Amino acid sequence: MNVRGLILALVLGVPAGGLILFGPRGQYDAPPGRTVVRYWEKWTGAEGAVMHRLVERFNRTVGAERNIWVQYIAVSNIEQRTLIATAGGDPPDVAGLYDYVVPQYADQGALRPLEEEARAAGIALDALRPVWLEIGRYRGTLYALPSTPYTIALYYNRALFRAAGLDPDRPPATLAELSASAQRLTRTEPVPLPGGGTGTRIVQAGFTPSTAMLGWWPWVWPCFFDGRLWDGQRCTLDTAAGRAALHWLADLRRAQGPERMLSFEGTAGAIESAQNPFLSGQVAMVFQGPWLSNWIAKYAPDLDYGVAPFPSVTVERRNAFASTDVFVIPSSARHPREAMTFLAFVLQQDVLEELCREHNKLSPFRTPSPDFYARHPNPHIRVFDELAASPDVFGYPSMPMWLRVMDESKQLLNIVLRDPDQADAALEAAQRKADAIVRDYEAMAAQRRRAGR
């Protein structure tokens, strides 16, 4: 093991050893003479079944010709376990990760650079939309290839728009319009108070960023005010854009009533069920990805809904959040050449679009095939695809300590949702914590570099 790996192993300690001894293994069904490529992936259920089918197709065709056998292994907590396995010297040959961990992995030397190897294997990188390649880069080097990309848009309930006197063919075009629509779409009903008298409770909300109700990305809002959360050296939470975003959220919360909204958000049903807040009509507008249409088709097929770009601070801007699952090859993979052969098969347009379509995601290609659109389960998929081409598109901040900062951004949002008047103080405190996280990480990175000399 090299010095870097030794440091990682010492930091991670006993869990690394436990993973190596008792980690995911799967079943070895490889025919004699095949090189076994271990492929760890987070997908299970229907998503995992699609990928497993493609793996089997590879094993029957290209794998048989090249004496390669890919072993698909579903792994929980894959972002942690792959790093641990790499530190311990026993990583998979290919891993399917979340894009936001790529900077951390790359910064710690846990990933192989892929650009030259991908081109040599025949992968048409220039055919991919630039945003998806850029997400896979860290400090200019390509470490990850896109698997199933997506953007996030505004889903809105057209029937509730009509009932509130809003035009269902004109969704909000700015954040100010979204706030105004959210107010008109929020409904209350009287409720007796314990000490006597009557209060009100919310039975339908126009919009909420709460993580309890489909608000899965608590950090994104400054980006819709043209802000960015990482300048290459510092995490920039407390900026003009950050304050504008937090004040917008605080004003929205005050108008709805913090205590009433917290009580309402506590009633959220299971996401993959008819009790999903959007499917059940509890929330009129949500910030979500293309997969939501799967749940609509299954649990609320008669729902009258629309999809539009999520509004930004001005009509002229088309800020859009883009993200993707990715394929990586760990730096100490035993069979990197064979792993790249497998990825070259998966990144053929017809194969990868089959995976993306059945996952209800976007095509990562500049020009999706007509068949991709024609057979896609989301009738609004072109809206999401057009957002990926926006000049104002953004992704997760490319910072190796992002996971810890993301936790702070969630805490910041929760403070504002509980007490909007604490927005400015909470933002200042979050910036101090983020600065400390960056300093701590950089100190450890400097130690790693010194030890690796």
Provide the pLDDT for residue 20.
38
Q: What is the mean pLDDT of residues 2-13?
A: 40
Provide the pLDDT for residue 192.
81
25 vs 408, residue with greater confidence: 408
Instruction: List the end-to-end C-alpha distance of the chain, in Å, as a whole number.
Output: 15
Is 188:237 a contact under the CB 8 Å cutoff?
no
Among the residue ranges 9-18, 22-31, 171-180, 424-433, the one predicted with the least confidence is: 9-18
C-alpha to C-alpha distance for 29 and 105, rounded to whole angstroms? 30
Do 3-151+323-394 and 153-321+400-437 show the same overall fold?
yes
C-alpha to C-alpha distance for 254 and 250, rounded to whole angstroms? 6
- The answer for residues whose C-beta is within 8 angstroms of residue 443's C-beta and 6 or more apart is none
Strands, E, within 32-183: which ranges? Answer: 35-41, 68-74, 94-98, 137-138, 141-142, 145-151, 153-157
Could you tell me which CATH class the domain 153-321+400-437 is placed in? alpha beta
Burial level of 192, CB count in 10 A (0-12/13-18/19+)?
exposed
Residue 17 pLDDT > 50? no
The amino acid that residue 120 corresponds to is A
Q: What is the mean pLDDT of residues 149-159?
A: 98
What is the per-residue pLDDT across 67-81, written as a single tens digit (0 to 9) for each? 999 999 999 999 999
Provide the pLDDT for residue 18.
42
C-alpha to C-alpha distance for 248 and 221, rounded to whole angstroms? 9
| Res. 96 pLDDT band, cuts 50 70 90 | very high
Closest among 187, 243, 244 to 428, alpha carbons compared = 243
206 vs 270, residue with greater confidence: 206
What is the per-residue pLDDT across 108-122, written as a single tens digit (0 to 9) for each? 999 999 999 999 999
Match domain 3-151+323-394 to its CATH number in 3.40.190.10, 3.40.50.11540, 3.10.20.30, 1.10.340.30: 3.40.190.10
Q: Give the domain ranges of the chain.
A: 3-151+323-394, 153-321+400-437
Provide the pLDDT for residue 28.
53
Quick one: what percent of the chain has pLDDT higher than 70?
Answer: 93
Provide the pLDDT for residue 1.
38
Using CA atoms, how far residue 322 sits from 103, 169, 371, 391, in Å, is 16, 25, 23, 12
Is 291:361 a contact under the CB 8 Å cutoff?
yes
Closest among 177, 395, 388, 390 to 290, alpha carbons compared = 388
